[in-house]
Amino acid sequence: MGVMIDGQYRVDDPGPDTTESGEFKRAAAKIRQWITEDGPFTPDAGRYHLFLAWNCPWAHRALLARVILGLEDVISVALARPRRTDQGWVYDESGEYSDQELGVRAVHEVYSRQRPGYTGRLTVPVLWDRETEQIVSNESADVVRMLGLFGGPDLYPEPCRSVIDAWNDRIYPTVNNGVYRAGFARTQEAYDKAVREVFDTLDAIEAHLSEHEWLAGDTFTEADLRLFPTLARFDVAYHYAFKCNIRRIVDYPRLWNYARRIYAMPGVAGTVRFEVYKQGYFSPSELRNPLGIVPAGPVVDWSL
């Protein structure tokens, strides 16, 4: 997997970004335009396309928003192959891992169409505008919000916003990105801190769920949507591949029930691919899994 500099793809693997003290630091998304009623990007059915990958939890947010909001016929998607190659996220010519929109074979081909030339990491999700032929956004949090403009239930209701924001602000660094901070840590100290934060927050959510059905109370919101991709990957991947092994999700009675309630929502199970997560997170990695061998287990039953 590589990077792009001034619109040119460089095959050299930049590796995860780490600080001098060995902590993983995720680079901020660089393309953050907004769809609004006033334009220039207006919320029109059939205008936008999502470049995603099954394996990526940030892309999973967009996939979830699309099914929960009922936008399958409004926003099209392309899902990349489970493992990245030296071309980054790649698509087949046809079949379930193909892109029917631009016919691209790699996500970097989408980024190479940006003007002026893009410089940065070649991440998914990518929200593509057919009309102006450019990327609107490569930030999943913004993409989820924008999809809300196309219809479906309100996932960010006005009266709950401060509660949703507070959960998002805690869950993003300590859980969604926290598992990566544990898995990509380069020192014992960085790992210790990250893994402790992962489980402190999961413990807090477990306690919260003893009194509430959802994070923001009695309504499913964006905060729940953003937590789910991490829960879906936790026991099959993060627990082992990222050393987040103090507890599993199945060890938390309420959190496990909550995760399966989301999984049982219409369309959600179709956005989950446990086998792909294993393929992806156990890809060959010099630091974590040099031989790329994928473990057989665990067997987890997500039915309620």
Ligand X SMILES: N[C@@H](CCC(=O)N[C@@H](CS)C(=O)NCC(=O)O)C(=O)O
For the annotated catalytic residues, the residue numbers are: 56, 180
CB of 301 to ligand X, least distance (A): 26
Could you give the C-alpha distances from 216 to 80, 125, 160, in angstroms and in order?
33, 25, 6
Sole binder of ligand X in the list 49, 66, 81, 121 (CB under 6 A): 121
Residue 46: left (phi > 0), alpha (psi -120 to 50), or beta?
Answer: left
* Contact characters 74-103, ligand X, x per CB under 6 A: ------------------------------
241 binds ligand X (CB under 6 A): no
Sole binder of ligand X in the list 122, 182, 198, 216 (CB under 6 A): 122
* Contact characters 27-46, ligand X, x per CB under 6 A: --x-----------------
Q: Is 129 helix (H, G, I), strand (E, B) or coil?
A: strand
- Asked if 179 and 246 touch (Cβ cutoff 8 Å), the reply is no
Phi, psi of 228 (to 5 degrees): -55, -45
Question: 55: buried, middle or exposed (CB in 10 Å: 19+, 13-18, 0-12)?
Answer: buried
Sheet holding 120-121, edge to edge: 8-10, 3-5, 120-121
Q: Near ligand X by CB under 6 A, which window of 108-116, 132-140, 147-155, 254-262?
A: 132-140
CB of 14 to ligand X, least distance (A): 7
125 binds ligand X (CB under 6 A): yes
Chain contacts with ligand X (rule: CB under 6 A): 1, 29, 56-58, 121-125, 138-140
